[in-house]
Structure 1
């Protein structure tokens, strides 16, 4: 009976092998996952490059962890059009971890991620406008991005748009609508929304009370 190979043959890296690498990674079998992903990188597969880069930067027990190599792999994956690579590069430039802190590059990379179709990037682009990081502060423009994020189903977008309505920043105040959006985000498991929910409920409760003459 032929034994199942532990890594794909050259040119044979496919979705099944990628899923196998992800399963091994989730099980803490980093060396085995790494061997498979390296074959994907050799085959020029952007998903494998991004997964291996993530491991080098974010997995504390990954063998031979090399942040510089992780950045290089993200850049290589981005050159092939991988949106997640752009999002992770944005995070690295914003935090200044494996690369020098550079908010202008962080903003450029998160915009690139959104342009390439990464739905998780939409609310993040909005936050750059919201806070005025590497671009003039523009809450109204931020709200536009939060709306796009909500349309994509991202819980962060629901939360950020809800906060805008709750406090009347970048949009006319509508605490009821804000609470609805924050509740939806909390239901989707977004921890910041869950933490903010009690305050949102208090704001709405106060809004509902008739004003004293």
Structure 2
């Protein structure tokens, strides 16, 4: 797959986004990511999603956002399906944010069971208002469900770009690691979670996300 690799071994799946640039979530990238997630789910594998060194993802393809029209609508629809696919994932889901994570990519972080962020000069943020866009209802629900209340106004309304340390406090990450240790730690965590009773994990995860899943299901149709 162009810009994306998937490996599955020993009950662990790993998806790496790497288009050589900013891992823009175009419709093509999103469809590839959805297919990889489905393949990992069919294997009942605990899943790790990571980016390329220095950049997890810049979010939706900005060119398509600026142009609008059917191509932009298709991209957003694929993004909505990604949100549901991550919420519905039947096994542990760990995300290693290898650098910058903006807009849709930051919302992806909010859907992981455990998120490890890279220390460094990186920006994490919900930049919708900064680019003149009212935050969609579904995005606001995700922010309200996972971000610390005292950070919600700064992230969602003021579109503040956060450092990794601030992003940890706000709720985008569960821990930070150096770039050199990031993937090793994330792989350790996904192996740890994979050892938990799978049925209990899946059913408890469903209960944990039940309200958000119902709300988003109604919005996304």
The TM-score, its normalising length taken from structure 2, stands at 0.29
The structure whose residues are more often helix, as a share, is 1
The TM-score, its normalising length taken from structure 1, stands at 0.29
The structure whose residues are more often strand, as a share, is 2
The one of the two structures with greater contact order (alpha-carbon pairs below 8 A, sep at least 6) is 2
Q: Which structure has the larger Rg over C-alpha atoms?
A: 1
